[in-house]
Amino acid sequence: MIKPFRRAAFWLGAALITSFAAALPAAAQQKLKIGFITTLSGPQGVIGKHMRDSVEMALEHLGGKVGGLPTEVVYGDDQFKPDVGVQVAQQMLQRDQVDIMSGIIWSNVMMATLPVITGAGKIMVGTNAGASPLAGAQCNELYFSTSWNNDQSPEAMGKHLQDIGVKELYVLAPNYQAGKDMVAGLKRYYKGNIVEELYTKMGQLDYQAEITALRAKNPKAAFIFYPGGMGIQFIRQWAQAGLRDQIPLYSVFTVDETSIPALKDTAVGQYEARFWSPDIKIPASQKYVADFRKKFGYTPSFYGAQSYDGIMLIDSAVKAVKGNVKDTKGMVAAMRKANYKSIRGEYKFNNNHHPIQDFYLLKAVKDSTAPEGVAMHIEKKVFEDHKDAYHQECKMKW
């Protein structure tokens, strides 16, 4: 009774395996696999959610076909750790056999992971991390960025503060490399008097002591860089201390659409500098923001916009090589043209594969059209076609 059944099962299995094996090579040529690394767990997972939802949005806008090929996106969670990022990348390259890679939020994860990707001969489209070495001496033919170099946003804020004639500034940032880079970027354009430059412990929760000290000095304005939870804490305590109406607070990477849902009205009046805002008057961006709000019920952040843009850049390159994604040279040449409808409008890549783009001053205002009730609005353009400060150190020419 059992034996014949077993034999049948065996032959059925064998038949299935051969049919799969036969189907495999054909499928590989007609399909595109993108490996997308971001942070999906832990408190920073909210940024990863913005990025993943934006990739899904891009896929929907492209009808599920990037560059005309049916597309599968493999998501990987780097857990905010460089070593995990490297593991995830290796897994994607070897096990999942992805054709191209994208994503990565953190500079340190990017610095560790990029050599693995480019070493395997694959293209990486970075959609957030803006490590300076990658814009300068360590620029790479296979690495493109749809975001910016870390210094550029504080540079824009420094320029604005210089332009409006802020005489003195109180500066606060966490005590780590990016904190110091941000202040260096600010100082590149702001030439006024910095009354205090204070570095606080990374991940600090309570800023009451710093705010008390600041109030004692009573500066004309303050500049902060507090990404993630630190910023939410600082801004709330700033408002609780009653300083919102007394001292103008300028920031970079502190108030955005990932922190506005928590900050709500305490964010109102906050100034930020950035290359993009959900209200930017660019058709591609307006379509992205409107559809995104409809589909996910919240406003996308610049993290999301850059990721959406990354998929669109890949789409333009795959189209240019007519779906032959193995043609890496052709893909790179196509990407350099930035020939697609970007959420920031038309732009060109610099020799280091970083966008040459405009930067704006943003202000958080009450906005009943936004699901959060508060939204960032563009106040004015600060830089036109701004290049990063490191591109001359990049030896790449094309």
Partner 1 sequence: MTFALVFEQLLNGVQLGVMLFLLAAGLTLVLGIMNMVNLAHGSLYMVGAYFAISVSQWSGSYLLGVAAALAGTLVAGMLVEVVALRTLYQRNHLDQVLATFGLILFFNELMAILFGRSALFASLPSYLQGHIELFAGIRYPVYRAVVIGVGLSVAILLWYVVTRTRLGMLIRAGASNRTMVAALGVNIRLLYTVVFGFGAALAGLAGLMAGQIYTVQPGMGELILIQVFVVIVIGGIGSIRGALVGALIVGVVDTMGRAFLKPVLGSFLPTVAADTAAPALASMLIYILMALVLALRPAGLFQARG
Binding site for partner 1 (CB under 8 A): 42-43, 45-46, 49, 175, 197-201, 203, 205-206, 208-210, 212-213, 216, 229, 232-233, 236-237, 240-242, 258-259, 261-264, 266
Query: Which residues does 361 contact at the CB level (< 8 Å), separation at least 6?
Result: 156, 157, 160, 271, 272, 273, 378, 379, 380, 381, 382
Q: How far is the CB of 167 from partner 1 (least distance, A)?
A: 20
Contact 264, 372 (CB under 8 A): yes
CA 159 – CA 286 distance, rounded (Å):
27
Choice between 48 and 158, CB closer to partner 1 = 48
Nearest to 315 by CA among 93, 92, 102, 113: 102
Residues 376, 274: Cα–Cα separation, whole Å: 10
Q: How far is residue 186's CA from residue 222's CA, in Å, rounded to a whole number?
A: 12
Q: Considering beta carbons, is residue 166 or 211 the nearer one to partner 1? A: 211
Beta carbon of residue 193, minimum distance to partner 1 (angstroms, whole number): 14
Q: What are the strands, taking DSSP E only, across 180-287?
A: 193-200, 221-224, 249-251, 271-274
With respect to partner 1, which residue has the nearer C-beta, 45 or 192? 45
91 or 237: whose CB is closer to partner 1? 237
Query: Least distance (Å) from partner 1 to the CB of residue 216?
Result: 5
- Please state the closest distance from residue 101 (CB atom) to partner 1, in A: 24
SS3 380: strand
DSSP 250-264: EESSSSSTTTHHHHG
N-to-C CA span, the chain? 72
CB of 240 to partner 1, least distance (A): 6
Complex with partner 1: residue 162 or 233, whichever CB lies closer: 233
Gap between the Cα atoms of 303 and 130, Å rounded: 12
For residue 194, give the 3-state DSSP assignment. strand
For partner 1, the closer CB: 41 or 94: 41
CB of 255 to partner 1, least distance (A): 13
Q: Give one word for 153, left, alpha or beta, with left for phi > 0 and alpha for psi -120 to 50.
A: alpha
Provide, rounded to whole angstroms, the least separation between the CB of residue 41 and partner 1.
8
Output the smallest distance, CB 170 to partner 1, in A: 13
Closest to partner 1 by CB, 262 vs 378, is: 262
User: By C-beta, is 88 or 232 nearer to partner 1?
Assistant: 232
Q: Kind and range of the H or E element at 365?
A: strand 355-366
For partner 1, the closer CB: 12 or 209? 209
In the complex, the smallest distance separating the C-beta of residue 198 from partner 1, rounded to whole angstroms, is 7
DSSP-derived secondary structure for 16-55: HHHHHHHHHHHHHHH-EEEEEEE--SSTTHHHHHHHHHHH
Closest approach of partner 1 to the CB of residue 242, in Å: 7
The residues that bridge with 65 in the sheet, in sequence order, are 70
Alpha helices in 40-176 (DSSP H): 45-61, 82-94, 107-119, 132-135, 152-163
Closer Cβ to partner 1, 197 or 393, answer by number: 197
- Please choose, from the candidates 106, 227, 184, 119, the residue with its C-alpha nearest in 3D space to the C-alpha of residue 390: 184
Residue 392 one-letter amino acid: Q
